[in-house]
Amino acid sequence: MAAPGALLVMGVSGSGKSTVGALLASKLGWKFYDADDYHPEENRMKMGKGIPLNDQDRIPWLCNLHDILLRDVASGQHVVLACSALKKAYRDILIRGKDGASPKCDETGKDKHPAEVKLLVVHLSGSFEVISGRLLKRKGHFMPPELLESQFETLEPPSAPENFIQISVDKNLSEIIATIVETLK
């Protein structure tokens, strides 16, 4: 497949986004962003208290991530983003921004960059049992395992016509990375 400008590693909390995303970026030599690092403090505090985020909390965060992707991709930088991106509408924001394909213009009014990010979505998919087992063992993270149920309720797995692959979290990390690298060929 023709290389996308950016690769989104998505899934519920504990599905392996950060681990897979960082390994993959290092293997491909692409820049890595972890969307967790871009949550405003209010979002982190909310999740830390066991309250799930809503659209209002997530949309400005996703718009900021879209701007980062667009900037990098327009400058020729390939990017891996680890981000929950649980709903289709959230993935659409990452690709097109909030109001759809609104081009960023320079002062002459001409299009400065393409308005869309060419994105391959990698959905790390697994059962509640396997993922909650991993979250219960994970230490030193602000996200409480109790929020996993709401993550599954919110999840809209990618489907056609989205440009995506789905990989089981039951595979080991090297199998997951190899599958993604193979897809990019």
Ligand X SMILES: O=C(O)[C@H](O)[C@@H](O)[C@H](O)[C@H](O)COP(=O)(O)O
Residues near ligand X, by CB under 6 A: 13-14, 17-18, 36, 39, 47, 53, 58, 84, 86, 143, 151
Residues 6+ apart with CB under 8 A from 32: 21, 22, 25, 26, 79, 80, 81, 82
Give the shortest CB-18-to-ligand ADP separation in angstroms. Answer: 3
Give the shortest CB-14-to-ligand X separation in angstroms. Answer: 6
Give the shortest CB-106-to-ligand X separation in angstroms. Answer: 32
| From 8, 15, 23, 66, residue interacting with ligand ADP (rule: CB under 6 A) | 15
Q: If you write DSSP's letter for every residue of 82-145 in order, what string do you get?
A: E----SHHHHHHHHH-TTSS---B-TTS-B-S-SS--EEEEEEE--HHHHHHHHHH--S-SS-G
SS (H, E, C) 150-169: HHHHHCCCCCCCCCEEEEEC
Task: Using the minimum distance from each CB to ligand X, give the nearer residue, 15 or 117.
Answer: 15
Task: Using the minimum distance from each CB to ligand ADP, give the nearer residue, 35 or 70.
Answer: 35
Task: Using the minimum distance from each CB to ligand X, give the nearer residue, 39 or 70.
Answer: 39
Give the shortest CB-16-to-ligand ADP separation in angstroms. Answer: 3
* One character per residue 137-176, x = contact with ligand ADP (rule: CB under 6 A): -x------------------------------x-xxx--x
Give me the torsion for CA of 60, 62, 67, 73, rounded to 10°: 180
